Structures are given as structure tokens and as C-alpha cells.
Amino acid sequence: MASSASAAALLPLPLPSCSSSEDSDDGKHLPSPPALEANTSPAQQQKQKQKRRRQERDYNVAMKALALDGDVDEVVAVFAELKRTAGEGGDGGPPPNVLCYNTLANALAEAGREGEALKAFDEMLASGVAPNASSQNILIKMHARRLEFDLAWELIHKSGVEPDVGTYSTLIAGLCRAGKVVEAWGVLDWMLEKNCRPMVQTYTPIVQAYCRDGRIVEAKLLMAEMERLGCLPNVVTYNVLIRALCDGDRFDEVEQVLMESSTKDWKPSTVTYNIYMNGLCKKGRSTELKWYAGVVAYNTVMSSLCEMGKWRGIMKLLTDMIKKGIEPNTRTFNILVRSLCVGGKFSLAKSLIHSQGFAANVVTYNTLLHWFYYRGKLTEANRLISVMLENNVAPDEVTYTIIIVGLCREGKFDAATAYFLKSLTSGLSMDVLTVLLNRLVYADKIWEINRIFDGKDFVPDYHVFDLTIRTFCRAGYCHYRTFYKLNLILDTMLKRK
DNA sequence: GTAGGGTTAG
């Protein structure tokens, strides 16, 4: 995979502590074209460097804000702009510094665009910018998400970048998410051996792992231990605990924990209240909005009202929040779209896409598509797909799933298969394939299945074989009279290998 | 100014 190749690419480190923004006069990246260079004094050059550094910081802050907002495309655009301004002198100019590359790569990784994140790091190395501990941590995070812990270890041991608290914390978080709490404790011991002091961020994932397993007693014990060690649990740690208490219907204890917050030296945030309220909503105990409610709280309640079919109440809340000066976001909007669909107001829901001040995203289109198919409005669905593509909104796995399910239900297996083949251009999704195969096999559409594996753009691997055989067997095709159909498909698949 | 733990939409 590309990830291991890139991990290897990070191994030989050029100059471990040197970032491009530092004043290393190695002459590798002169900021200005020669002509300008000739008649600028050292003082002026210094000034230009400072200006560039400020510019990089500003761009970096902007990228971070955009990433927080979930607008990754815009992050990519800002980064490109940063590179462009460097090249205005004519000969390319200095590359962005390591922090900017980190921000870019992290935003991409967080958005699930890991291939692009790795490409960003490759580009960084190619421009002679040395990675730092944060770059390494971002890579470790990506490895951990794919459960490639061996690669994560290899990176730590061979990169030459000294692991920091963040490195260990990232690894611990990844292990905890994968349910490997014992290994996480191992890493904690290891860092203590290396005299690296843990932080709240190091312990919190372990608290969370306990909470997820319903081991609340152990979670609380660990939090007590943190206090003893002088590493006080903070609002995030308590949020984890409160969520677990909500899931367990232990709302009295939530109140208790909140009451004690002032003496325990932490302050509940809007996130805390959002978790609490979400817990109450899920148990059907509250739709009352308190004074501290922000946009997320409104979204939660509106969404819960939508589940209950009270879509008129949603409109009331929308006007309510606008009156209070709380700005609705894309999610608010999507909840509104969904509630309008639930209420059968399709044309109104559709018209919202073109309304000003709202950028429809892939979720918006998915919501509408789902309902169009659900109500058998195939022409509308087709038209919407065109609009979506015209507006440069890329379909995701959910989109393809909705389309495929919708078409199959109408008996349009051929079209559904065509969409699956189209989805391959953005990579194979096993989820999408599972959905399609299920429908085709149960409908006995052997010809279409053959078509999936007959194309030149799809070479089945072990998982695909496994899935196919299982699906056929579950549908009863492993009977001797029908087995030849599965054989036919397997033949086609083997031809491709 | 980058990384590492927590909330809401299909």
C-alpha cells in the first residue's frame, strides 16, 4: 500500500531538527529570484524572511480554522495559494514550512483522505522540508486507524525523530480505539521508563476505553489515580465519563458529577451540555433547551423532533435560534431538509439547495436522494445526481449505497451495477459492494454479477472472493443444482487475477 | 501558528 511506502520514505531523515522556516543559510531555498537578490541588502532580506514567516503563520491559522469547519477543500486551496505566493518571485521560492504541511496533512487525514495526506508528506520530503514529531504523530494516527500498529512501531523506532508525549499519546489513543487496552498500558509504562511525563491526553483514551466497555468503576478509579498523580482530569475526561453515564441511564450521577465540577477544578463546556442533552433526548426525556444551548444543542433537539415526526416544531426552533443570534450551520440545514422530506414537502426541500447562505454538501444530496428513491421518484433522483455533479459535490459511499439500493428496489439492476462500476473510480468500498451483491444474488441476476467482475478496472482480492462466496451460500446457491452459477462467477473472477 | 482525548446531520 501507499502508506507503507510513505512510512518508509520518512525513514531516512535529511536534517531532523531543521524546518524550512528556520534561518539556516544553506542556500537551498533562497526566497527571492537572483535579480532581486542582487540589489537587496541583508537587512531587506531579513525583512522579507520575517514577512514570509508571518504570512505562513497567518495561512496556517486560516487552514486550521477551515479544517475545524470541515472545509478540507478550502484548506487544500489555501495551501496551494501559500505555495503560489512563494513562487511569485519567479523561481519557485521556498516551500511552505513543516507546520503548514502538518496542518494540511492532518486536515486531509481527518477527512478520511489519507492518500492525499500521504502525498502531502511525500511532497514535503521532496522539497527538502524535514518532518518533526508532529508529522510523525499524524502518520502514526493514520496507521493506528488502519490498525497497522506494526508500521507505527517501525516508524517510531527507525525514523530518528525522538518520540514526544504526543507520539505516545497518539499511539495509546489508537490502541484504545482498537480495543487493545492492555497494549495501551504497555505504552504508558514504556513512556514512564523513558521519563516522559504523561498528560491528560495520555490518560483520557484509557478512561474512554473503560467507559466504552461499561467499566465505569475502573474509569472512575483511573480518574482518581490521575488526581493523585497531579494530572487532573479535565473537561474532556469528564465528558467521556458523562457520556458513559448517560448511556447507562445514570442521569443522577451526571448531575452529581456536574455539581462537583467547581470543587474538582474543571468547568463544563457547551460540549458537556450537548452530551448531557443528547443523552436525555435519546431516552426521550427532554426536549427543553436551556440558556446555554448552542448550535449543536439545537441540532440535536431538532434531529430528535424529526425522529418523532414533529417537523413543525423544527421550524419553530429554527426561528427561535435565529432570533437568539445563533447561526444555523450545514447540519442544521440538513436536518431541516430531512424533516421537510419526512413531511412530504419535497419541492421546498429541493429548493433549499439553491438558496443563498447555505452550501449543500454530500449529506444534503444523500438525504434528498434517499427520499426521492423511497418515493419512487426516479427522474427526480437522476436530475439531482446531475445537479450534484454540476456543483462539484463528490458522491461518497453513502451516496452510492443509496443509489444502488434505490435502483435495485425498482428492479433496475443493470443501472445499479453501472453505478457501482462508476464508484470504483474513487476506490473500492466493501460496504457498497456488499449491498449490491446482496441485492443481485437474491434477485438471481447472474449476468449483472458477471459484469461486475468482468470489467478491466476491478481485480478481486481475497476479501472480495470471501464476500462473494458467502453471499451466494447464504442465498442458498451452494445447493448442487444451483452451484454452477457461483462457479460461473468464480471463473470470471479468477480470469481477472 | 502544527500533533495527542470529548458533541450534532445522510
What is the DSSP secondary-structure string of A17-52?
Answer: T--TTS----SSS-SS-HHHHHT--HHHHHHHHHHH
Nucleotide closest in space to A363 (CA vs C1'): B10
| Residue A243 Cβ < 7 Å to strand B | yes
Give residue A24's pLDDT.
37
Mean pLDDT over A302-326 rounds to 89
Q: At A57, list the grid cell.
A: 503563520
Domain end point (choices A114, A135, A158): A158
- A119 located within any domain: yes
Subset of residues 60-89 in chain A with CB less than 7 angstroms from any atom in strand B: 60-61, 64, 67, 70
In a domain, A481, yes or no: yes
Tell me how far apart the alpha carbons of residues A70 and A457 are, in angstroms, rounded to a whole number: 31
Q: Which amino acid is present at A318?
A: L
Q: Is residue A20 part of a domain?
A: yes
CATH code assigned at A66: 1.25.40
Of the three residues A158, A190, A206, the one that is the final residue of a domain is A158
Three-class SS state of A298: helix
pLDDT at A30: 36
What pLDDT score was predicted for residue A12? 38
In this model, does residue A34 exceed pLDDT 60? no
Query: pLDDT for A273-295, tens place per residue?
Result: 999 989 988 887 786 777 778 89
- Measured in Å, how far apart are chain A's first and last C-alpha atoms? 18
| H/E segment holding residue A288 | none
Which residue among A97, A132, A158 closes a domain? A158
On whether the CB atoms of residues A364 and A333 are closer than 8 A, the answer is yes
User: Half-sphere exposure (CA, 13 Å, Cβ side) for A376?
Assistant: 2
Residue A6 scores a pLDDT above 80: no
Dump pLDDT digits (tens) for A360-385.
Answer: 999 999 999 999 999 999 999 999 99
Query: One-letter amino acid identity for A495?
Result: K
- Residue A92: pLDDT band (50, 70, 90) is low
Between CA A220 and CA A362 the distance in angstroms is: 40
A299 in contact with nucleic chain B (CB within 7 A): yes
- Smallest CA-to-CA distance from A206 within A232, A229, A240, A155 is with A240
Does A327 map to a domain?
no
Is residue A122 packed enough to be buried (19+ CB in 10 Å), middle (13-18) or exposed (0-12)? middle
Our count of domains for chain A comes to 2
Look at residue A292 in the predicted model and tell me its pLDDT.
Answer: 75
Q: Do the domain assignments include residue A138?
A: yes
Q: For A75-103, what is the mean pLDDT?
A: 84
Does A446 map to a domain?
yes
- For the record, the C-alpha cell of A129 comes out as 522540508
Flag whether A235 is in a domain: no
Residues 6 or more apart in contact with residue A401 via CB below 8 angstroms: A431, A432, A435
Domain residues for the domain of A89 are 1-158
List protein-proximal bases of chain B (any atom < 7 A from a CB). Answer: 1-10
At A239-254, the pLDDT tens digits run 999 999 999 999 999 9
Q: Are A147 and A169 in contact (CB under 8 A)?
A: no
A105 in Cβ contact with A60 (< 8 Å): no
Note whether residue A444 is domain-resident.
yes
Q: Give the residue-averaged pLDDT of A413-423.
A: 96
A38 has a pLDDT exceeding 60: no
